[in-house]
Amino acid sequence: MAALEHLLRQRSFEEISIADLAAEAGLSVGTVYRRFENRDALIPVIFELYAARVSEFAASPSGQLALEPDAGLRTALRQMVSQGWAFLTAEAHLVRAAHLHARLRPDLVGEEWEAFLEMAVESSRALIEHFSGEVSITDRRQAAQIVTYLLNTSLIERALYPQDGPAFALTMSDAEFTAAMADAIYGYLTVPPLQAPA
């Protein structure tokens, strides 16, 4: 696992062969094949590594919101987005491989991926409930899903694919980007819903 992660820091999963992995781990190719049928059998290992990093981050001081008693939702969102960005950029090698293979090979990901997404939604929901006095959206579950979606898609797009797609057009710094994303989510959560015409 350590050898795979080390190689992922240097190149994409698609560029890593079993021979590369064996050489990095100091093993024979045959030894690796006895443990892993083929390269695709390494995909669950990527998710194990990713899950371990998420759990470590969530339990660490850098993964906790440390808000002043009178801090509001906007401040909390800015801190949360900034922390998420720091995690994504530090673990981009794992996130990139996990993100791609969750789409390409969902059969190899397992049910843990859904549990991670649900955990993210519940985390967003807890934040929304904590600042419920500032939130205008009444369907808190839906709001939590949208917040989780916006955070995942926007941060992943810029962190993992900065030269491709819409992220290429962004000319702002990372700090400006994370603040703008937090403010966009804040606006979504706090703008009163439109009333249907009578």
Question: pLDDT tens, 61-101?
Answer: 888 888 777 889 999 999 999 999 999 989 988 888 888 87
pLDDT band at residue 177 using 50, 70 and 90 as cut-offs: very high
Amino acid 110: pLDDT: 67
Q: Which residue is listed with tokens 């993100």?
A: 99
Amino acid 196: pLDDT: 66
Amino acid 198: pLDDT: 63
72 φ/ψ sector (left φ>0, alpha ψ -120 to 50, else beta): beta
Angstrom distance (rounded) from CA 144 to CA 124: 5
Q: What is the mean pLDDT of the chain?
A: 88
Amino acid 82: pLDDT: 93
Residue 6 pLDDT > 80:
yes
Domains of the chain, start order: 1-37 (1.10.10.60), 42-190 (1.10.357.10)
Residue 148 pLDDT > 80:
yes
Find all residues with CB under 8 Å of 72, minimum gap 6, and list them. Answer: 131, 134
Angstrom distance (rounded) from CA 67 to CA 177: 21
| pLDDT tens string 7-52 | 999 998 889 999 999 999 999 999 999 999 988 888 888 888 888 8
- Cβ-based neighbour number of residue 94 at 10 Å: 24
Angstrom distance (rounded) from CA 193 to CA 25: 56
> What are phi and psi for residue 48, nearest 5 degrees?
-65, -45
pTM of the model: 0.82
Contact 177, 158 (CB under 8 A): yes
